[in-house]
Amino acid sequence: MAMKLIYLNPVFFLLLIAIIAGFISYLLLANGIRRMSIGGLIVHFAFIIILAGASLTLCFGQEGQLHLREGERSNLISINSSGGMRSMRLPFEVELRQFKLVRYPGSQRPSSFESDVIVHVDGRSFPAKIFMNHVLDLKGWRLYQASFDSDEQGTILSASRDVIGRTVTYAGYLALLIGFIIFIAGPRSRFSRLRKMLKEYRAPKVLAVIILLGAASLIRAADAHVIPPNTVDKEAATRFGALPMQFADGRIMPVNTFATDLLRKIYKAKSIANYTPNEFLLSVMAAPERWMHAPLFAVKNRALRDKYGLERRSAFADCFDANGSYLLQQEVDDALRLPIARRNGFHKDLLRLDEQLNLLYAIFDHEYIRIYPLPKDSAQRWLEPNKAYLLEHDDAVSLTRCFLNALKGSTSGIAADAHTAIAAIDSIQMFQAANSTFPIDFKKINLELRYNRMDLFSLCRILYLSLGALMLVTAFAGLIRQKRWLKWTARGLGIAILIVFHLQMVGMSMRWHIGGFAPWSNAYETMVYVAWASVCGGLLFARRSPTALALATLFAGIMLFVSSISGMDPQIGVLVPVLKSPWLMFHVAVIVAAYGFFGVCAMLGVYNLVLLRLGSRLGISADRPAELTVINELSMWIGLALMTVGTFLGAVWANESWGRYWGWDPKETWALISILAYAIVLHLRLFRRIDDNIRIFNAAAVIAFAVILMTYFGVNYLLAGMHSYGG
């Protein structure tokens, strides 16, 4: 409906033509060619080339769908046009040999959609494979894996022909990249003039003494009289946590990772009372009756508490009546029958609580703990202890007993029995894995254990917030009165932030190696990456302005804090098929780095507005806000270049994945809105009345960041689209 009413509306095309006409009139009537640098001209002309390519695609491009069942051969595609559905024949035939829905080992999660086909063209035949991010090019046509039949016996291929439009559009993308490089590195650009202006200011090198503030954790502890006392043997719990297991999505990971995620999902914290995640898991499985009355579940919804008589912290048993009937069952069934769009806050909180209760009940029953590899299994499954009878083992019953002995021994004070049982499980895993088609990578298991133990992102969060806040306060004090000793403390604090920056890089590298893909594929990972990019931006201007570094560091701490809240899931998962592409690393890395620079711009904007308001009263020179505004504009130019290039890298990825550059998906649309918003802010200087108005520019930098928040959070959590996997 949006495509029909807006994006394909003639008025919308007239608007695009008006933009091009406005740019050309500026060049001809306002001496724009003289005023613009070479890089700026190339960037602006690149947009004209891109729009021209899009027009060629619209006028001459062709797109349809080819539906094939296994064994079927056809060249007839269906095209959806304004006059309805019509058919067209390809200059070759495609025969589907087999469609494969490849799943991750031991799970139902799709890993890849693959069509094994035979192509018949010009009297010859050859085999080919078509799958996500792997296109078949032939005679100007491109075939993409679009969908498949529900019985997995047929495939739906997208066919498109757009040689001229694609060539022109890609030329525009290349010109855009070259233009931005020349603009940033060239001698006559606005960016170059800003760098020269920055050198004219004598930036105060104000840095403070390194004082690591003791940060007290907010512990949401339950009533000590209700939480069962911890009787778990610590060494046994550590050894049990190091055992490999298979998660529901098929990933092999240590039990410690599962235990940490379990506690976070149920209790919304990384520990409970004096239990570590490993100890909590063992205790819950060994003695479920002791945990049924423990207040584990946070019930924030007041209507939900009032309806069922629950407390802010409720226990598993509180959700059942005296007869053992589940109090939430009827309401849960009603909520599940409602369309997602009609579920209100009560329904969502109800379903979330139901999910937590079911998860704990499954742990009571020893489910999800898949620790025994199933040899010679085509699906590469691992089994829970209570399904050990399916294993080809001399005494399958002993495997279940071995697991129970590990639980009993670790929680009853008989540590020797626990260690013996855990060692037996370890040897059984080694034996089973040796006969399995899916061996255990113990180096990765050990790396993930170190990653969990180090918890570098939490450490970086505390250090970024502490150092950023301290540096901001002392930098502000230095604007009022400069002291010689601050010069010596500058290097120390700068080195401290640099060390934390590299610690975060270590954590990201470890996560990359563990997951096997770049760590910016979901909401949690991109928040961590935004924090890293923010500090990177601050370090670029650290020598000129410690205030910029302080604000960037503080912003990074805020981002890591947001990533740690309960709405973000830090679990290392597996990639959906469309994300299994090298374009993920480039597109997401570039565009999310732009968010970091825009975040620094917003922080600088707020800081400058405070200085402009209070600076004269405190005796602060007017040069300070002017200098920071120059840094703000430099950061914004870098952010805009990254945002623009990253967005069009995404367009190339989209074209290589499913045959179209731009579909006005909500994420794409808001990315374009973000580019336009910051382009407007940077072009405000062209208006004579606000050319040198520092206050307007900084206020606009703050307001524009609301668009980034909508692009990043709003689209993921409020709207639906092809980028919903980001949430």
Q: How confident is residue 544, by pLDDT bands cut at 50, 70 and 90? A: confident
pLDDT at 723: 57
Domain identity same for 519 and 595: yes
- Banded model confidence at residue 571, pLDDT cuts 50, 70, 90: low
Residue 657 included in any domain? yes
**Structural domain span for residue 428:** 234-438
As a whole-number percent, the residues of the chain with pLDDT over 70 amount to 83
Does residue 271 sit in the same domain as residue 331?
yes
DSSP state of 146: E
What is the average pLDDT across 346-353?
Answer: 88
Output DSSP code: residue 320. B
- SS3 letters across 473-540: HHHHHHHHCCCCHHHHHHHHHHHHHHHHHHHHHHHHHHHHHHHCCCCCCCHHHHHHHHHHHHHHHHHH
Q: Quick one: pLDDT at residue 517?
A: 77
Compute the distance between CA of residue 549 and CA of residue 189 in angstroms, rounded to an integer.
25
Round the average pLDDT of the chain to a whole number and report it: 81
In a domain, 403, yes or no: yes
pLDDT value at residue 572: 57
CA nearest neighbour of 661 among 648, 643, 674, 676? 648
Q: What is the pLDDT of residue 13?
A: 85
Convert the pLDDT of each residue in 271-316 to its tens digit.
888 899 999 999 998 888 889 999 999 998 999 999 999 999 999 9
Classify residue 661: in a domain, yes or no.
yes
Least confident piece of the model among 99-108, 345-354, 522-531, 703-712: 99-108
Residue 375 in tokens: 């040899």
Alpha carbon distance 513, 517 (integer Å) = 7
Count of structural domains, the chain = 4
Same-domain pairing of 497 and 609? yes
The answer to whether residue 222 sits within a structural domain is no
| Separation CA 295–CA 318 (nearest Å) | 9
In this predicted structure, the answer to whether residue 576 has a pLDDT above a threshold of 60 is: no
Could you tell me whether strands 62-69 and 244-246 are parallel, antiparallel, or unpaired per DSSP bridges? unpaired
Out of 55-64, 100-109, 376-385, 685-694, least confident range: 100-109
- Single residue among 438, 463, 483 that ends a domain in this structure: 438
Check whether residue 53 and residue 78 sit in a common domain.
no
User: Which two structure tokens, joined as six digits, stand for 220?
Assistant: 């949401």
What's phi and psi for 80, nearest 5 deg? -95, 105
Cα torsion through 697, 703, 707, 708, rounded to 10: 80
Q: Are residues 108 and 126 in the same domain?
A: yes
Residue 147: what pLDDT? 84
Q: What is the mean pLDDT of residues 447-454?
A: 92
Mean pLDDT of 423-450: 80
The answer on 254 and 120 residing in a single domain is: no
**Cα 267 versus chain centre, distance:** 23
The first and second tokens of residue 276, run together, are: 């570590």
The answer, yes or no, to whether residue 35 has pLDDT greater than 80, is no
- Residue 8 placed within a domain: yes
Domain boundary (409, 438, 467) is at: 438
Question: How far is residue 166's CA from residue 155's CA, in Å, rounded to a whole number?
Answer: 26
Same domain, 470 and 385: no
Closest CA to 583 of 177, 134, 164, 168: 134
Clarify whether residues 402 and 303 are in a common domain. Answer: yes
More confident residue, 102 or 56: 56
Domain membership flag for residue 223: no
Residues 257 and 350 in one domain: yes
Segment 200-225, tens digit of pLDDT: 664 333 222 222 222 223 333 333 34
- pLDDT for position 471: 81
Pairwise pLDDT comparison (645 vs 689), residue with the higher score: 645
* C-alpha span between 523 and 529 (Å, rounded): 10
**pLDDT tens digits, 480-522:** 566 666 666 766 888 899 999 999 999 999 998 888 877 776 7
The predicted pLDDT at position 727 comes to 42
Side chain identity at 132, as an amino acid letter?
M
Residues 361 and 462 in one domain: no
Instruction: List CB contacts of 541: < 8 A, sequence separation 6 or more.
Output: 548, 549, 631, 634, 635
CB 524 within 8 A of CB 726: no
| DSSP three-state, residue 323 | coil
